[in-house]
A and B are shown apart, each in its own frame.
Chain A
Amino acid sequence: MLRSSTNPTVELAGPPDGSALPEAERILSLGVIIIRVGVLAQVVSGTARGLDLSDNPTLYLLLAGVVTLESVVLMAVLWRAKRPRLKPWGLVDLALGFAMMAALPLALPGALMSDSWIWWAASLAINTTGNFGLTQTSWWWVGTSSIAMSVLYVVIGTTYGDLGLHRSVTESLNYPIFGFGVLLVSRYLRSMATRADADRRAAVEAMRQSEMNRARLVVHDASTLLRLLGDPSTPAAILPALQNQARQESAQIRNFLSEPFGPRALLPESLGEIISSVTTGFPDLPMEFATDLGADVLVPRQHAPAVARALTTVLHNVRRHAQATQVVIHADQEDEQWEVTVRDDGVGFDEREHPHGFGLASQVIGELTRLGLQVAIASAPGHGTAVTITGPCAKERARP
């Protein structure tokens, strides 16, 4: 109920539509398809020109047909899957590259090897080596396959073709360069996208936690009040004060439900007024006030609500757990800093054995430190508990 009516951003925690990784994969797929269209255009165009020069036109046409068919199927698969990390297809494509590299000499005279349009196997092999780099994540496999392609190219270029050793070796470097280059770029893109998705999930989770904490903050004190109001053993003498607090809590919950990001309830600004407004809700506590030194200090407006809530929570804790015979509320100001201490002489607790509950951990420490205020909690069994809050004075001059 709270979730749906308070903060639309909570919905971000749902399925990660528009995530970066699938988007990166789609772009890589599109890149593969576009480049393959270019290679295919070269194959078709080169084959048309090379048929007349071919030793075996039928074989030459058949090889071009196989390449065209495989390319069309590959593009269709990529278009549907929208991701190029399809290992089987990467292998099929690489195998096609090797096969064409090895088979084309059977259809064309070696002298045509320097004509890359007619001898399209060289371009196709570069493309398939690159695609293999896109479908694999292993440097070893990409390195091995691209170097193997280089060796094959050098062998064919020097034994069957007329390229000579120097040119063969130089041109064969294209295969590892493309293989590793594509692998590197695709890994980088995928890594960036994965990180972006992780950051987004973390941000959504942080937002969700923040909203949950706000909800907890709002209902935390209310739960204590409800328990006390519902407890038949609650002394009748404190019922009027509890009812007064209950009305305030009710108003705050109503504000929270209707206006989650709107202005919070206006609270007094001077430390003395904050203390006074909070402590009137706890007439049952044996409080002793020593607030003169800090009563007139102005607390920054953005801090006042959190300070009031923190003090309320601390006093709720005293009421529920401390069994105190004295609660000293002390306020002071020194060097543009104000300080409030709430110290009870109650049962105390062992901070190592009993970690702070939600109220102290979140409403006091969490909220105040988030605002840049300091909180110190000191307690030991039998030694009572002291909570000291320190913060900066407002820029305005303190009231006279």
Chain B
Amino acid sequence: MSTRAVIVDDSTAVRLGLPLMAPDIDFVAAYATAEELLLHRPEVDVVALDLKLRGGAAQGVLQGPAAIRQVADAGYRVCIYTDERRRFVLAACLRAGALGIAHKSDSGPATQAALIAVSKGLNTVTQSLVGLAELLERRGGLPTLTERQRAVLRARSRGERWADIAHRLHITEGVAREHMAAVNAKFARYLVDATAADLEHHLGIGPGDLLDEE
């Protein structure tokens, strides 16, 4: 059974384009606002949610971490689909309950893979957040990582390809991805659970950098 998804984006082009980029996913609906999604509540495996839903000069539109939180609370698995690359903003999305992040500049297959992973409850993060995860790990914020997970995180943070990592560590690509998936899950869990003091201690994030991205 194919993955069922819905897209929430204020850009008509994106609402039309994403289904073409991810042909293996069944997009059952497309909305311009999160409110419409929450109103219709379609049954889907994953929501591709744009971070900014201003739609021009509209005020009071549900968007950003607040939208993520409400959509996640409604029982959806959220994959942020955005142009945003600021790491702390993306980290705020994970903290708000998004399981994954995909960039609009990513290739079609990469976007589709991220959506499918999130539909299965897996965490996916983009390259821009892998460096943040490594920083967190180095500063003691991810103490439960295994040696293998650390090695894969270190390699991915440096942009190493899956095939090269697998070859170097004498594991399969699938196992390498599983290690990274475990890292992503622990990273996302940390972001959700971390106190303000934790964030400041581990990532140097002050109040307002991440907590108030509403």
A residues adjacent to B (C-beta < 8 A):
286, 288-293, 325-328, 330, 341, 343-345, 383-384, 386
Can you name 5 A-B pairs with beta carbons within 8 Å? Answer: A290-B130, A292-B132, A341-B159, A383-B163, A386-B160
The answer for the CA separation of A341 and B159 in the assembled complex, in Å, is 9
Tally of contacts, chain A with chain B, CB under 8 A: 51
Within the complex, which residue of A291, A327, A344, A345 is in contact with B131, where a contact is CB–CB below 8 Å?
A291
Max chain B C-beta neighbours (<10 A), residue from A289, A290, A326, A386: A290
From residue B11, how far is it (CB to closest CB) to chain A in Å?
20
Residues of chain B contacted by A386 (CB below 8 angstroms): 158-160
Verify A290–B161 contact, CB threshold 8 A: no
> B128 near A288 (CB under 8 angstroms)?
yes
B131 adjacent to A330 (CB under 8 Å): yes
Do the beta carbons of A290 and B105 come within 8 Å of each other? no
In the complex, what residues of B have CB within 8 A of residue A343's CB?
A: 158-160
Q: Which of A292, A325, A328 contacts B158 (CB under 8 A)?
A: A328
Contact of B161 among A292, A293, A341, A345 (CB under 8 A): A345
With both beta carbons as reference points, the residue of chain A lying nearest to B136 in the complex is identified as: A292
Q: When the two chains form the complex, which single residue of B127, B131, B134, B157 contacts A326, counting CB atoms closer than 8 Å?
A: B127
Which of A292, A326, A341 is within 8 Å of B135, CB to CB? Answer: A292
Interface residues of B in 94-145 (CB under 8 A from A): 105, 107, 126-128, 130-132, 134-135, 138
Q: Shortest 6 CB-CB distances between A and B: which pairs? A: A290-B131, A328-B159, A343-B159, A288-B127, A292-B135, A330-B158
- The contact string, 1 if C-beta is below 8 Å from chain A, for chain B 152-196, is 000001111101100000000000000000000000000000000
CB–CB A289/B128 < 8 A: yes
Q: How far is the CB of A389 from chain B (nearest CB, A)?
A: 13
A386 to B160, CA, bound (A): 9
How far is it, in angstroms, between the C-alpha of A286 and the C-alpha of B107 when the chains are bound? Answer: 13
Residues of B within 8 A of A384 (CB): 159, 161
Closest approach, in angstroms, between the C-beta of B101 and any C-beta of chain A?
A: 13
Is B138 a contact of A288 with CB atoms below 8 Å?
no
Q: Say whether, besides A286-B105, A341-B159, A293 and B128 are in contact (CB < 8 Å).
A: no
Q: Report the bound CA distance from A293 to B157 in whole Å.
A: 11
CA distance A328 to B135 in the complex (A): 15
In the complex, how many angstroms separate the beta carbon of A292 from the nearest chain B beta carbon? Answer: 4
Chain A contacts of B127 at CB under 8 A?
288, 290, 326, 328
For B160, list chain A residues within 8 Å (CB): 343, 386
Residue of B with least CB distance to A288: B127
B163 contact set on A, CB distance < 8 A: 383
Using known A-B contacts A288-B128, A290-B134, A383-B164, determine if residue A345 contacts B107 with beta carbons closer than 8 Å: no
Taking the nearest CB of chain B, how far is it from the CB of A329, in angstroms? 9
> Would B161 and A383 count as touching, CB distance under 8 A?
yes
Give the complex CA separation of A343 and B165 in angstroms: 14
B33 CB to closest chain A CB, in angstroms? Answer: 30
Q: Please indicate which of the listed interface residues B105, B128, B138, B159 has the most CB atoms of chain A within 10 Å of its own CB.
A: B159
**B residues less than 8 Å from A291 (CB atoms):** 131
**Complex contact A290–B158 (CB within 8 A):** yes
B158 neighbours in A (Cβ, 8 Å): 290, 328, 330, 341, 343, 386
A330/B132 in contact, CB under 8 A: no
In the complex, what's the smallest C-beta–C-beta distance from A311 to chain B, in angstroms?
Answer: 15
Query: Are A325 and B107 touching (Cβ within 8 A)?
Result: yes
A344 to B159, CA, bound (A): 8
Q: Nearest Cβ distance between residue B167 and chain A, in whole angstroms?
A: 10
Q: How many Å from the CB of A380 to the closest CB on chain B?
A: 9
Q: How many whole Å from B1's CB to the nearest CB in chain A?
A: 31
New contact pairs (20) apart from A288-B126, A330-B157, CB-CB < 8 Å: A286-B105, A288-B127, A288-B131, A289-B128, A290-B130, A290-B158, A292-B131, A292-B135, A293-B134, A293-B135, A325-B107, A327-B159, A328-B157, A330-B131, A330-B159, A343-B158, A343-B159, A344-B159, A383-B163, A384-B159
CA distance A27 to B114 in the complex (A): 85
Contacts of A325 in B (CB 8 A): 107
Could you tell me the distance between the alpha carbons of A341 and B130 in the complex, rounded to whole angstroms? 15
Alpha-carbon separation in the docked complex, A328 to B129 (Å): 12
Q: Is the CB of A326 within 8 A of B159?
A: yes
CB proximity of A347 to chain B, nearest CB, Å: 13
Instruction: Determine the distance from Cα of A288 to Cα of B132 in the docked complex, in whole angstroms.
Output: 12
Chain A residues, CB < 8 A from B138: 293
Chain A nearest CB from B103 CB (Å) reads 10
Shortest CB distance A40–B (Å)? 84
Determine how close the nearest CB of chain A comes to the CB of B135; give it in whole angstroms.
4
In the complex, chain A residues whose CB is within 8 Å of the CB of B126 = 288
Q: Once bound together, how far apart are the Cα atoms of A289 and B161, in whole Å?
A: 16
Nearest-Cβ distance from residue B91 to partner chain A, whole angstroms:
12
Give chain A residues whose Cβ lies under 8 Å from the Cβ of B161: 345, 383-384
Q: Which residues of A contact B134 (CB under 8 A)?
A: 290, 293
By beta carbon, the residue of chain B nearest A327 is: B159
Residue of B nearest to A333 (CB): B138
Shortest distance in angstroms between A295's beta carbon and chain B's nearest beta carbon? 10
Q: Please, which residues of chain B bring their CB within 8 A of the CB of A286?
A: 105
